[in-house]
Structure 1
Amino acid sequence: MAKNQKKGGNRSFQDDYYIEPPQVYDYDRQRQSAPPAGRSRAGWKRRQRAAQKQPRRYSVPPQEEDHSRQARRDLQRRKRRRRAARVLTFFAIAVLLAVLVFITLVFVFSVQEVRVSGNTMYTAEQVSAASGVETGDKLLLLHTGEIGETLEKNLPYIRHAQVKRVLPNTVEITVEESQPGFAVDRGDGTYTLLDDDFKVLEQQAKAIPDGVYLISGAALSQDTPGAVVSFDGELIDRSVAILASAVLKNALDEVTEIVVQDANNFVLVYDGRIQMLFGEVDADTIDYKINQALACIDEISQSNAAARGVLNLKNDKNIYFTES
């Protein structure tokens, strides 16, 4: 009995009653390791392994994060400044090189020859002298536009002058000349010649060139060669300009003379025998009156080709011819 008790005393409680040791179950891990319903376990594990390889993100205190952002901004600002400095440096070098090249070329290319073409009224020497271009002038420093304007002013028969630089040492001048279109009777046996734009070409011409319209009865207030002519009296000046423009526009080759009687009466002499008498000249009605006059002259000439007289056009609605 005692022996049995002794033996029995050596037995543990677990020998008599089997109790499983406590185990710790990690239900969260089991849930993470178990694939969701409807998905394969192999695919789920691959995605978990990929997720574990991703770097962990650690939270940064707000102050450190602000400091980091400011540092990045400063770095970007410095980069932009360096980039701008490089661009400005390159631009400055390019400008400097261009200036150096230009200065070099200025002293290399100088005028040695002046060529003139298109001239008939003036000699090449006259055109060259009037241009002001001299041998030895710096070719690249010449103002070609100003030279052309100078020629058009100093040489009235030059309507337009084109000036070009031809490297290495030549100036080329091409001129377009004006032709006389009108001759103003000065009252002393001489005439002031005008082109179609009323630019004064010549003073005190001794004769009227062929095909030129004569203007008589109007006193000149300004007839400087190279400038636009002016007649004495604003109304006369304007009316003569309107009549002259209408004559050119309608190609009235049969008109031989524009006569100014006074500020309110102007005459176009047709074929030297019929005077077309206008009252006040109006730019809006002058073409209409001229067409009416030509129609009347055709009727008159059909009955008498040598008829002479005055065709009164002062009143549009009452045009009549007085034979002389």
Structure 2
Amino acid sequence: MKKHRVVIIVAISLLIGLIAYLCATLDYFSIKKITVKNNKIVKISEIQNYANYSLGENIFRFNKKKLQEKINKDIYIRNANIKKIYPNTIEITVEEAKDICYFEVGKDKFFVDSDFKIVRNKDRIDYSKIVKIVGANENLSKISNLKSDEKFHEFLNNLYTHKILEQLTEINVVNSNDITMVTKNEIKVFFGNLNDSEKKSNNISKILKEISTKSINTKMLDTKDPQKPFLIKENSEQTE
């Protein structure tokens, strides 16, 4: 009985070994196809080029992390999810970077994405559709992530999280103590300095929503004092 059990164990071990050998050597499991999903800016062929080195490689030996690191270096890609589809396909689902604003230094344009990474001259981005920052400090062009500038990052992050950035065309920071903004419906917003940016952003968000829902005719919104924000209607009436 004991000998019979040993024979069974050995047979199973040999079978497992044979299956593992076949999986590692058969052409059936060689990568032959690379598919790409969710791309809008980056071409399929460009993403496939990152992965072409893996064609012919055994799918069980394929290193997903290595390919992911290569793709994530692309300035237009935020992240890539890589999936093995047996027996011979690699599926790449990309999440492209979302640019939220840009600024200019000399002839160069610097784009800031939703992770606050700063990249120079993205030629595939339609910058007319995102917010322009006028008067940005030249030092911003020398850093790779806006988080290095704590105060300015906090300011932009609050505008982004309160969904204000998407309603703007321009932010003027020439005078950092007297920041102004212009909305898509041409309302001028006086923000003041960078202090209390969370409270000010919250005020702006609420007031812009009220302007929209109540169809208020206004040309100016002042939030310099976070405790007393007010708007000026077209008939010059001030409302707190």
Q: TM-score, normalised by structure 2?
A: 0.69
Q: Aligned residue for 2:105?
A: 187
Asked whether 1:314 is paired with 2:224, we answer yes
Give me the whole-angstrom Cα distance separating, in 2, the residues matched to 1:167 and 1:121: 28
Larger strand proportion of the pair: 2
Q: Aligned residue for 1:13?
A: none
Asked whether 1:101 is paired with 2:22, we answer no
Q: Aligned residue for 1:156?
A: 75
Tell me, what secondary structure is at the counterpart of 2:127? coil
Contact persistence 2:54–2:62 (CA under 8 A): no
Q: Aligned residue for 1:277?
A: 191
Give me the whole-angstrom Cα distance separating, in 1, the residues matched to 2:166 and 2:35: 39
Q: CA RMSD in A?
A: 3.8
Contact persistence 2:151–2:194 (CA under 8 A): no
Equivalent position to 2:143, from 211, 217, 222: 222
One-letter amino acid of the structure 1 residue matched with residue 204 of structure 2: I
* TM-superposition CA deviations, 1:207-247 (whole Å, max 9, x none): 85343122233332324xxxxx326633223322222332x
Q: Aligned residue for 1:259?
A: 172
Asked whether 1:119 is paired with 2:35, we answer no
Q: Aligned residue for 2:158?
A: 242
Q: Aligned residue for 1:196?
A: 114
Return 288-297 or 206-215, whichever deviates more: 288-297
Contact persistence 2:117–2:146 (CA under 8 A): no
Q: Between the two proteins, what is the percent identity of the paired residues?
A: 21
Q: Structure 1 regions of 5+ residues with no counterpart?
A: 1-81, 224-228
Q: Which structure's CA Rg is the greater one?
A: 1
Matches within 5 A, 1:51-90: 90=9
One-letter amino acid of the structure 1 residue matched with residue 84 of structure 2: R
Tell me, what secondary structure is at the counterpart of 1:240? helix
Higher relative contact order (CA 8 A, sep 6+): 2
Aligned length: 221
Quick one: structure 1 residues 264 and 244, their matched pair in 2 at CA, closer, same or farther if it must change by over 3 Å? farther
* TM-superposition CA deviations, 1:180-222 (whole Å, max 9, x none): 332x21222432233333345x522468534312223333232
One-letter amino acid of the structure 2 residue matched with residue 203 of structure 1: R
Asked whether 1:268 is paired with 2:216, we answer no
Q: TM-score, normalised by structure 1?
A: 0.54
Task: Report how far residue 105 of structure 1 moved.
Answer: 0.6
Tell me, what secondary structure is at the counterpart of 1:154? coil
Q: Aligned residue for 2:203?
A: 289
Task: Report how far residue 148 of structure 1 moved.
Answer: 2.9
One-letter amino acid of the structure 2 residue matched with residue 163 of structure 1: I
Give me the whole-angstrom Cα distance separating, in 1, the residues matched to 2:73 and 2:99: 17
Quick one: structure 1 residues 264 and 95, their matched pair in 2 at CA, closer, same or farther if it must change by over 3 Å? farther
One-letter amino acid of the structure 1 residue matched with residue 132 of structure 2: L
Give me the whole-angstrom Cα distance separating, in 2, the residues matched to 1:121 and 1:251: 21
Task: Report how far residue 96 of structure 1 moved.
Answer: 6.3
